Amino acid sequence: MTNEYALEMIGIAKAFPGVKALGGVDLRVRRGELHGLVGENGAGKSTLMNVLGGLVQPDAGRILVEGAEAAIAGPADAARMGVGFVHQESNLLNNLSVLENVFLAREALGHMGRLDRRAMAEEIEALNRKLGYNLKPFARVGDLSLAQQQSVEITRALIARPRILILDEPTAALGEEEVERLFRILAALTKEGVAVIYISHRLDEVVRIADRVTVLKDGCVVGTLEKREIARERLISMMVGRVLEDIYPDRRDMAPGKELLTVEKLNVRGRVHDLSFAVRAGEIVGIGGLEGQGQRDALRAVFGERAASGRIALDGVDLTRSGMATRIRAGLGYMTHDRRNEGLVLTMSLVKNASLAALFRLTGPAGIVRKRRERAEVRERIDGMQIKAASIDQMVVNLSGGNQQKVMLARWLLTRPKVLLIDEPTRGVDVGARMSVYRIIDSLTRAGIGIVMLTSDMMELLGLSDRILVFYGGRVVREYARGEATEELVIRSASGLG
Amino acid sequence: MGAKIREKFAATPQLFSVLTILALLAVTFLSMCAYSESYKHMQNISKLIVQCIPLAVVSLGQTLVVISGGIDLSLGATISLTTTIAARLMNTDSPAQIALAVLAMFAAAALVGLLNGVGVNLIRVPPLITTLCMSTVLQGVALWIMPVPGGKVNREFATFVMQKWGVLSMPLILLALAYLIIHFVLYRTRTGVPLYAIGKNPRIAASMGVKIRSVSVRAYVIAALLAALTGLLLACRMRVGDPLVGTNYTMDSITAAAIGGTSLAGGVGLISGSVLGSFLIGMLSNMMNILGVDQFYQYVLKGSLLVLAMIVYSIPGMLGVKRVAK
């Protein structure tokens, strides 16, 4: 044996605009081992695997497969190198059949370039028998359950007989029985010599099945544990350990006022289950949890952007059946996490962006914008927030991330909200601007506004929230009061450990 | 057996729209037979079919483009352009020159399709804009070649292309050939499934290894080639070129595809539906002509038909069967 490693990733670095996702990561995976990959949100797990899968091009670093240099410029290259990828979110085309999805871009061809459907169907049936699935090759993927869709993804990955198989959060949509089946499949694969990379937030699973585990934090490897060293507590302590910076306003003197927002039994199909919570005047309710546990769906449902059942009331007014325009007028706002695509109209001026949601207040009877008032109100907000811009007529595309974020905040303040839902208050924003965003949020609560803040930044969650709701699997699994929560406790709850 | 059919329908729910159109066609036909004694004569039926064929041919192409997630607004102008090329070059008795003229028509169309594909996929201008601009340009070129209808298509060649044998005819054979080739490409080769894949979600398709640009360009080229075939049929029928003859075919081909169950959002559709949709549009036009309905009402009806088709297909469960896969 020339090399014990099926895969070596050496010095992989990748920066996205404003964020360093990976800073020189080394990962070595042995043949026939199940290698766990864990870390907090944003630790770089998915980016690293996307590099391996050909979906992201690294800025630096080398990849060796079976000891040989591998150039991976796209998904097709990755497949050719024997890398199979089962994605976290369904990566299938639901207008196509199971067979078409499994064999897309890798069709079995018969005589004269004709598709050999029978051969492909037989191959799927053979894998079905081996894996214990019951997939009908000609069923439409859109008609399948989430668990079945995942079986399709695994079938697609395995039909190419990969040497390296990546599974990104494979058990998120699975029931207990299906998880056990998946584990049996993985055990059989590793026995055959396939190297499996297993990303999961569920630490119990990782402890149970992994032969080795690599822990990532802030785009760097904290360490790799051998089988005998793997323990839950050890993993958690490796994942955490960031210092709580002194950039959060002191809110210990705040006493919440009357109840403003009431959410009862909110359900979003397949995403949020029986969510009930309340927000009081002057309160910051932090929402934490790992990505994709239903937090965002919950927030959007409260704002009326996603269909949901349940009851939503704001300051005594029932908004359950109202559209978003009515909710905004009633005093509800939702500030998106995706500034560039959903938030700002980048090619419009600062003043137009800021007044957009409040035009209902700033227009006269004939629907004509009261320009002078619009400009005066925007200017007042801008000055209060210290937005650095040449003028309020400047295009927002030219502003820094932090200033853009403040423009979005200004927009929602102009609607005179009672409760503001903020999705990622400081994503892609530098430290200085973060501090001023925190100060603005703090001052809003002191003016009697209630804030719901969804954040994937653990420090922000702990530092700013008066109360923390931790999501897991579409439910709030734990609520912490200020001072009660620690990073370890929150990660524990967010990982489904109580 | 029953289970097999159920599975087939579950895999392609658009089969229901195909059945619906067949029923509508039958109803139209039977009611016209009741209205007019001569309607069901073989000669009339054959004439009716031949009338519908140019639209059916171009709709095949439009369907491919729409399935791939695009739309081609330049097909009508491509038809006009190719008829003017035909009428300019086919006023001759030399078979060699006629062959050359046919070649020129298809070469021009292929170039148009290629430019559309490049504009959409490499320059990344939205299909609506790319093909709309292309349409205007082509319209200009057609009017430059031939400001008013004119030119001439060789009589023998035109008769050859339009000849009939009872209910059979050369245009019908050409349509059948085009249909079979497209059907083969779509469902029997590795080009077909990726076309549906990029129409549904190009990002996911790319992540699964599909070369999305090359697939999309192919759709635009095939569509333009089919428009050239339509142009050939029209030129041979009229025996002159007409720089405006194709104008209505853009909208009609989209309507035919939509009636046939092709989703204008991409990723879903059947070419058989589009062919039948074209026949339905043709028969309704013909019916209204016989009944003496004015041309403007016919426009209103065609527009309404498209909206109606979209409404019907947007109602969930109208098309879809309940899931059979367990």
Query: How high does pLDDT run on average in chain A?
Result: 89
- Asked if pLDDT for residue B325 goes beyond 60, the answer is no
Which residue of A87, A96, A107, A145 is the best one to mutate when testing the B interface, meaning the one whose CB has the most B CBs within 10 A? Answer: A96
Whether the CA torsion A128, A134, A135, A137 is positive or negative: it is positive
Decide if B220 is inside a domain.
yes
Q: What is the 3-state secondary structure (H, E, C) of B263-275?
A: CCCCCCCCHHHHH
Q: What total of structural domains would you count in chain B?
A: 1
CB atoms within 10 A of CB B35: 11
Q: What would the pLDDT profile of A120-163 be if each residue is shown by its tens digit?
A: 999 999 999 988 898 999 888 988 887 888 899 999 999 989 99
* Residue A467 phi, psi (nearest 5): -145, 145
Q: What is the rounded average pLDDT of the residues B7-35?
A: 80
Q: Which residues in chain A have Cβ-Cβ distances shorter than 8 Å to B215?
A: none
The residue of chain A nearest to residue B4, with distances taken between CA atoms, is: A138
Decide if A472 contacts A204 (C-beta within 8 A).
Answer: no
- Asked if pLDDT for residue B322 goes beyond 80, the answer is no
Who contacts B173 (Cβ-Cβ below 8 Å, separation ≥6)? Answer: none
Decide if B4 is inside a domain.
no
Which of A87, A93, A115 is nearest residue B205 as measured by Cβ atoms?
A93
Q: Which residues in chain B have Cβ-Cβ distances shorter than 8 Å to A157?
A: none
The residue of chain A nearest to residue B211, with distances taken between CA atoms, is: A105
The pLDDT assigned to B326 comes to: 27
Query: What is the rounded distance in angstroms from the CA atom of residue A276 to the CA atom of residue A309?
Result: 12
Decide if B6 is inside a domain.
no
Q: pLDDT-based confidence at B9, cuts 50/70/90?
A: low
For residue B239, the SS3 value is coil
Q: Which residues in chain B have Cβ-Cβ distances shorter than 8 Å to A144?
A: 325
- Asked if pLDDT for residue B301 goes beyond 50, the answer is yes
Of B20 and A454, more confident: A454
Decide if B323 is inside a domain.
no
Decide if A61 contacts A13 (C-beta within 8 A).
Answer: yes
The pLDDT assigned to B3 comes to: 66
CATH code of the domain in which B54 resides:
1.10.3470
Residue A479 tokens, joined: 């609520």
A90: closest CA of chain B, how far (Å): 9
For residue B165, the SS3 value is strand
> Amino acid identity of B71?
I
Q: Which domain holds residue B110?
A: 15-314
Decide if B5 is inside a domain.
no
- Asked if pLDDT for residue B321 goes beyond 60, the answer is no
Query: What is the rounded distance in angstroms from the CA atom of residue A45 to the CA atom of residue A218?
Result: 10
Q: Which of A441-445, A483-487, B8-12 has the lowest mean pLDDT?
A: B8-12
Query: What is the rounded distance in angstroms from the CA atom of residue A163 to the CA atom of residue A152?
Result: 19
Decide if B178 contacts B225 (C-beta within 8 A).
Answer: no
Residue A398 tokens, joined: 């030219």
Q: What would the pLDDT profile of B67-95 be if each residue is shown by its tens digit?
A: 999 999 999 999 999 999 999 999 999 99
**Bridge partners of A419?**
A332, A450
* Percent of chain B whose pLDDT exceeds 70: 92
Who contacts A217 (Cβ-Cβ below 8 Å, separation ≥6)? Answer: A39, A40, A43, A238, A239, A241, A242
Decide if B74 contacts B47 (C-beta within 8 A).
Answer: no
* Percent of chain A whose pLDDT exceeds 70: 97
Return the closest-CA partner of residue A197 out of A167, A239, A235, A222. A167
Residue A11 tokens, joined: 């010095």
Q: pLDDT-based confidence at A15, cuts 50/70/90?
A: confident
**Contact assignment for A93 to B197 by CB distance below 8 Å:** yes
ipTM above 0.85, yes or no: no
Decide if B322 is inside a domain.
no
Decide if B184 is inside a domain.
yes
Who contacts B27 (Cβ-Cβ below 8 Å, separation ≥6)? Answer: none
Mind listing the domains of chain A with CATH numbers? 5-239 (3.40.50.300), 259-494 (3.40.50.300)
Who contacts A486 (Cβ-Cβ below 8 Å, separation ≥6)? Answer: A462
Q: What is the rounded average pLDDT of the residues A380-398?
A: 86
Q: Which residues in chain B have Cβ-Cβ distances shorter than 8 Å to A121?
A: none
Strand bridging mode A259-268 / A332-335: unpaired
The whole model's pTM is what? 0.78
CB atoms within 10 A of CB A398: 12
**Contact assignment for B189 to A76 by CB distance below 8 Å:** no
Q: Which residues in chain A have Cβ-Cβ distances shorter than 8 Å to B188?
A: 114-115
B318: closest CA of chain A, how far (Å): 15
Whether the CA torsion A296, A302, A303, A305 is positive or negative: it is positive
Which of A87, A95, A107 is nearest residue B190 as measured by Cβ atoms?
A107
